[in-house]
Homo-oligomer: A and B are copies of this chain.
């Protein structure tokens, strides 16, 4: 299986994409990776590593899309960027998936415009794997659709169910609608109508509230992209904030160095679920292809996990299953 990897995106390119790709090749014998980006910098990074040259190829893509660049304009004007070339390769059938830690908006725009939508999909969505006390669960939309219509939320649920059961290995995932209360009549007009339409899904558990996320009262949390994006970034900030809160607690209790060290160790182990390296990346669901995007700060491990998750999406034919589920 050939997967294209953006070697010119994220905060630590080409180093992290190159290292992550080599790690993925080591884990998956049938994998071939094509690295996209400026040839010279990729080759320079590659020269530091040992790898199977037959399975790690470089495709020159000199244009750089910066992290803060306007997505639509970048995609239009930078045809020779890693993102546009990579999605173009994917569209042409030269690879099975594209993985990037670069500009999320640009990857979303390129994926939507170039790959197109899957049959029956109204709007593609970005989903995020969210830490809970029961393990990772799915939150969507997290930013592709800041405003939603009820029928979009129903489709998000259907696409999410395929992803969660096939890729996150959760059987019969339960769907919850994030709202301000549990009762059917709560929320905005969109949420009330969505509640009605979602009742057609057998695994809809009804409205869930903010307090139900960490306790995983559902496996799939539906919301508009504004709510989801704020929750996603808030969640990402929890480990650092907790370290600060705990440092204060340690000072207040006047603990010794050894005790403080123990607490730090426990906290680190406890927050492993929040580790974005483990989570890897988030999928765009609903586009006619497999397109995974990671955090700008993605480590080699995160890139490796994104590649392996993308491969899993291909192996499990999730797009065919999404199209079938929407019929």
Contact = CB atoms under 8 A, between A and B. Distances in A.
A143 interface: yes
Interface residues of A, number: 58
B270 A229 contact: no
A327 interface: no
Contacts of A178: 230
A209 interface: yes
A170 interface: no
Interface in A256-288: 259, 262-263, 265-273
Given A133-B245, A249-B269, A249-B270, A226 B188 contact: yes
A167 interface: no
Contact of A214 (B226, B231, B237, B248): B237
B229 A210 contact: yes
Nearest to A235: B210
A314 interface: no
Given A143-B180, A245-B133, A214 B234 contact: yes
Nearest to A70: B185
Given A133-B244, A187-B146, A244-B133, A236 B249 contact: no
Nearest to A271: B245
A143, A245, A271 pick with most chain B CB within 10 angstroms = A245
Contact of A266 (B211, B237, B246): B246
A80 B47 CA distance: 82
A263 B212 CA distance: 25
A188, A268, A270 pick with most chain B CB within 10 angstroms = A270
A241 B231 CA distance: 16
Nearest to A246: B270
Contact of A146 (B180, B238, B245, B250): B180
B263 A266 contact: yes
A165 interface: no
A246 B270 CA distance: 5
Interface in A128-150: 132-133, 143, 146-147
A213 interface: yes
A241 B146 contact: no
A82 B242 CA distance: 40
A316 to B, nearest CB: 29
B237 A187 contact: no
